[in-house]
Structure 1
Amino acid sequence: MISAVFWDFGGVFTGSPFHLDDYARSLGTTNERLLEHVFGRYEANGDHPWHRLERGEGTLAEALEAADESCRADGIEGFSAEGFFKAMSGTSSEERRDKVMAKVSELNDAAIRQAIITNNAKEFGDIWRSLIPVDELFEAVIDSSAVGIRKPDSAIYRLALERLEVSRPETSVFLDDFEPNVAAARNLGMHGILVGEDIVPALRELDRILGNDGV
């Protein structure tokens, strides 16, 4: 029986920051190249400014300056924080958020424990928490910038399991929009669901896993 569900935030409750094709085209580049300039190899855990930001070791200003420098070194002009974050917000919708919150509420009613595992920046804390009633919906938030660990490091999943007192990873589910993050959860024995641009298939897969386990 599934006892706990863990949710990513960005890319699940909101649109994904990994799908910025229109903004990338406006800069004369591809989505993949833009993401590498901003995030580095996102699945890595190195000294890249964005990785340091998400571990609480650097600042948003430093990460954005490094992204701009990396873009310009590659001949990409016009990158700006305003443009980048506007593009990110453009992938979100209230309908998507409402669907996910409805599922979270349903699982709370079924006494399934839930938490958020998010790679985030300290500077974003007030913003993303204002989008949903976090403390009402979740028992815990494992924020990379607060705990000093970022996905897909297995330690952040172990910490999340510990926070919700889940001793058997196979009794938990994790949803995320980045495949390496999902793979890392699966490697620990958790059920992993990759969230796409349409949230509905992921929620159906969650229902399937819960149903197959008798919930």
Structure 2
Amino acid sequence: MTTKLKAVLFDFGGVFTDSPFHAFSSYAAKIGASDEQVTDIVFGGYGVDSDHPWHQVERGEISLENAREDILALGKAQGLNVDIWEVFMAMAENGGGLRNDLVEYVRKIRTAGLGTGIITNNVVEFRDHWRSMLPVEELFDFVVDSSEVGMRKPNPAIFEKALEIGGLAPEEVVFLDDFEGNVIAASALNIRSILVGSDSGKTIADLDEILGLNRANTL
């Protein structure tokens, strides 16, 4: 483990839970659209930070209901009825729950004396729900929620905000996210980053390759 490393920062959705984007296939088929169409209408270009309604709601600039109305209008312009309430229901039905093995690994990280934090693109109306899914106060030193700080990934400013809050330099941090654009943005700031997939065991192995906590336990 590098002596410079002081903290591990995590995304929430798609890291501690299954990716919400996996639910789009069934919903898209239901309304006669492609996955790409629904993703673009609901989330815009997720790899950029723009004035799309979803980006605005994640920055806390508009309410979730306002975003729903604007997204309905975007869908109707393409001849589609895309209702984010139905999208969220599809996500809930396809969700796999909390990745408890990763939660336990976070406990090891904390026991090893390293700091932890969350950087999440999220929505004011979802705050109580996602925070109820895991012991946030116990496991993390701080949370940078896009809807609270008015900036969202992949904007470099949100990573810089997290570093400022944690009193960290980029080279002292490892960051995990399930979206490649966010990993690229963090890496551009010299933050060592891991792209998370659907296998939490691989995520833990990739992280432990850097931290060496499981290897230390076998010596």
Structures share fold, TM-score greater than 0.5: yes
Distance 1:22 1:142 in 2: 32
Q: How far does the alpha carbon of each residue in 1:9-51 deviate from its partner, in whole angstroms, 9 at most, with x for none? A: 1111112122221211112112221111001111222211111
Q: Does 1:201 align with 2:195?
A: no
Offset of residue 3 of structure 1: 1.3
Q: Does 1:158 align with 2:175?
A: no
Distance 1:122 1:85 in 2: 15
Match of 1:141 in 2: 143
Q: Is 1:15–1:89's contact at 8 Å kept on the other side of the alignment?
A: no
Match of 1:110 in 2: 112
Match of 1:65 in 2: 69
Offset of residue 197 of structure 1: 2.2
Instruction: Give the 3-state SS of the residue equivalent to 2:15 in structure 1.
Output: coil
Percent identity (aligned)? 45
2:38 alignment partner, one of 31, 34, 38:
34
Match of 1:97 in 2: 99
After superposing the two structures, state which structure 1 stretch, 187-196 or 19-28, moved more. 19-28
Distance 2:83 2:53 in 1: 16
Distance 1:88 1:208 in 2: 32
Equivalent AA in structure 1 for residue 123 of structure 2: A
Q: How far does the alpha carbon of each residue in 1:80-132 deviate from its partner, in whole angstroms, 9 at most, with x for none? A: 333211222234323x4212211111111111100000001111111111111
Aligned length: 211
Q: 1:186 to 1:165 in 2, by over 3 A?
A: same
Match of 1:44 in 2: 48
Distance 1:211 1:136 in 2: 22
Q: Does 1:12 align with 2:9?
A: no
Distance 1:23 1:128 in 2: 22
5+ residue gaps, structure 1 = none
5+ residue gaps, structure 2 = none
Offset of residue 207 of structure 1: 0.8
2:80 alignment partner, one of 57, 76, 83:
76
Offset of residue 143 of structure 1: 0.4
User: Root-mean-square deviation (CA), in Å?
Assistant: 1.7
After superposing the two structures, state which structure 1 stretch, 28-37 or 14-23, moved more. 14-23
Equivalent AA in structure 1 for residue 95 of structure 2: S
Offset of residue 195 of structure 1: 1.1
Match of 2:59 in 1: 55
Equivalent AA in structure 2 for residue 24 of structure 1: A
Instruction: Give the 3-state SS of the residue equivalent to 1:18 in structure 2.
Output: helix
